[in-house]
Amino acid sequence: MLKNRILLIVSLIWMSATSLRAQDTTAPSTLFPYPQAPDTCATLESRCNYIITHFWDNYNISRPIADEAAFEGAFRDFVDFFKYAHRNIVMSTMRDFMFKAQTNTANLEKVGRVVERSLYGPQAEYWSDEVYLEVARFMAGASRLKKNVREHYREQVKRIERTQTNAVLNFEFTDANGDKKRLSDLPAMVTVVFLTDNGSDSSIDRLRLSTDVQVNALIEAGNLTVVNILVDKCEGRWTDVAQSLPGNWVNGYNERLDEEIDVRLIPSCFVIDAEHKILNKNVTVEVIKQAFE
């Protein structure tokens, strides 16, 4: 029943948008005509499957991409349907898309940048390790690309694979006393690894999390540990910095941590369980607060 309601809403939005574009000549047009699912596609999933499968039928990916911004707009529209489509269709469609993109080397590098911004970067509206890894591995193995471009994607693949959901999160950091420690040295319990820097956004989020009543109650009861790791360079002034951080947190720094693990936002949080396995990653303080409420 819920999926039928979602399908109806999506259909109404699609028809309304089409109608408005027809009436408003100032509305921006799409880069190419998008497919419309036939009436035989009766479910939301089947309609989305059809649309992503045929999305690029009216676009020749082998021709030079003249307007990267317009191309990115189309690709982001393409990605919007992923969340409702079948996983196998999404994966096969992305493989087919990348295979066709490689026919033009200059295009392939642009496609890689667009996919990275749309599926991986901080401005991406849809994150999927599985989908993006497919692309990153393809780019890392594309011999026609420059060595530094391939290496960029190889490093991304390493970081993502190292920090996927259910992987064990472990890294070294310098604690408040200046001692070197590893995350695995901490007692096994639910842990929020809070990655911050010396920017204003991090300061505000640290204040919001450190003053949260529920979070502090869980820490006091021994059910939660908050590990605040600064990714800025702090050596030489670390003692002064540490004194300003919450006393009931484990505070430390590792200025190269974003080179080791899959950090996409600063500030952001990783949540790990009693076995130090990743439950969630790159989530905001707001998500953490809501979860504990």
* Structural domain includes residue 188: yes
If one counts the domains in the chain, the total is 2
Q: Which of 105, 137, 162 is the last residue of a domain?
A: 162
* Structural domain includes residue 245: yes
> In DSSP terms, which residues pair with 172 in a beta bridge?
182
191 and 139 in one domain? no
180 and 47 in one domain? no
The pTM of the full predicted model, rounded to 2 decimals, is 0.79
pLDDT value at residue 19? 39
| Torsion sign across C-alpha atoms 192, 195, 201, 203 | positive
User: Of how many residues is the chain composed?
Assistant: 293
pLDDT value at residue 6? 42
pLDDT value at residue 218? 93
Q: Which of 142, 162, 182 is the last residue of a domain?
A: 162
pLDDT tens digit sequence for 80-113: 999 999 999 999 999 999 999 998 888 999 999 9
pLDDT value at residue 178? 87
Write out the residue range of the structural domain in which residue 154 sits: 2-162
121 and 8 in one domain? yes
Q: Which of 100, 127, 162 is the last residue of a domain?
A: 162
- The DSSP H or E segment spanning 65 is none
Under-50 pLDDT residues of the chain = 1-27
